[in-house]
Amino acid sequence: MFRLPFFKKSKQNKQQIDTIHNVPEHIAIIMDGNGRWAKQRGLPRLAGHKQGMDNIKDIVRTANKHGVKILTLYAFSTENWKRPKSEVDYILKLPKEFIHIYLPELIEENVQIKTIGAFDLLPEHTQQAVNEAKKRTEANNGLILNIALNYGSRDEILQAIKQITRDVQSNSLDIEKLDEQIVSNYLYTKDFIDPDLVIRTSGEQRLSNFLLWQIAYAEFWFTDVYWPDFDETVFEQALHDYQSRKRRFGGLTNNKLKQE
């Protein structure tokens, strides 16, 4: 795991970043720190959420530039309903504002919008805005912007267990054939490859009920930078650091195998 304070890009960093070659196909980001960003500036928390929303377009552009195939953003969790109603209401209006302002740019970038989570439980205006964005980008074949809305990993797994149980009871699934791939097919992310890299901003180092099944072998990267300040420079540093990771998936490297 890597923890990075905010820094200014040096010429050396720029040269290193320009040589990025081993880019994660699927990056998942826990966008954290909007409220603290606002407090630090004497602003209301809602201003932090607005700034965080505006930042998404730049990160999408950077991910697209480097050839990332899937970018999953943790936008609203099942636990976020516990926040003050005024804050929840504001957050759930942001998708409509984001799409109104930035959808043309996303279409130009060939981005396809997807979502994961208990979508049907979101307010009607949120559903309508996101469904419009999905429809207008469904023919795009570039970066998949996968937005986690009303998402909680434990709930996702629980719902999968319930459906698997129903299918076993109806004899449409043989329990003896149940394996990891079949379980994965019952999750929201059944059409996606698992994340290669998980990034969390704001200095926190926990997963917060995010993609617990899917990130079993993902690399983690943490930064003290609040999400509204998480810019291209910091994102590219995460990509650069990922290049040095040796992903063994529980096995050994080829060099180790040769030695033994």
Q: Is 55 a catalytic residue?
A: no
Model confidence band, residue 245 (pLDDT cutoffs 50, 70, 90): confident
Q: Is 80 a catalytic residue?
A: yes
Is 109 a domain residue? yes
- Strands 112-116 and 70-77 come out as unpaired
Is 1 a domain residue? no
Is 6 a domain residue? no
pLDDT at 70: 98
| Locus of tokens 């629980």 | 158
For the beta carbon of residue 130, count every other beta carbon within 10 angstroms: 21
Is 14 a domain residue? no
pLDDT, one tens digit per residue, over 25-78 is 999 999 999 999 999 999 999 999 999 999 999 999 999 999 999 999 999 999
For 108, the token pair is: 């130009």
Is 13 a domain residue? no
Is 8 a domain residue? no
pLDDT, one tens digit per residue, over 113-143 is 999 999 999 999 999 999 999 999 999 999 9
Do 212 and 22 touch, CB atoms closer than 8 A? no
Query: Which member of 55, 64, 80, 150 is catalytic?
Result: 80
Is 240 a domain residue? yes
Q: How far apart are CA 19 and CA 39, in angstroms?
A: 37
User: In the chain, how many domains are there?
Assistant: 1
Q: How far apart are CA 121 and CA 203, in angstroms?
A: 30
What DSSP string runs through 102-120? HHHHHHHTT-EEEEES-GG
Task: Tell me, yes or no, if the pTM score tops 0.85.
Answer: yes
Residue 11 has pLDDT above 50, yes or no: no
pLDDT at 191: 96
| Residue range(s) defining the domain that contains residue 183 | 22-259
CATH number at residue 187: 3.40.1180.10
Is 2 a domain residue? no
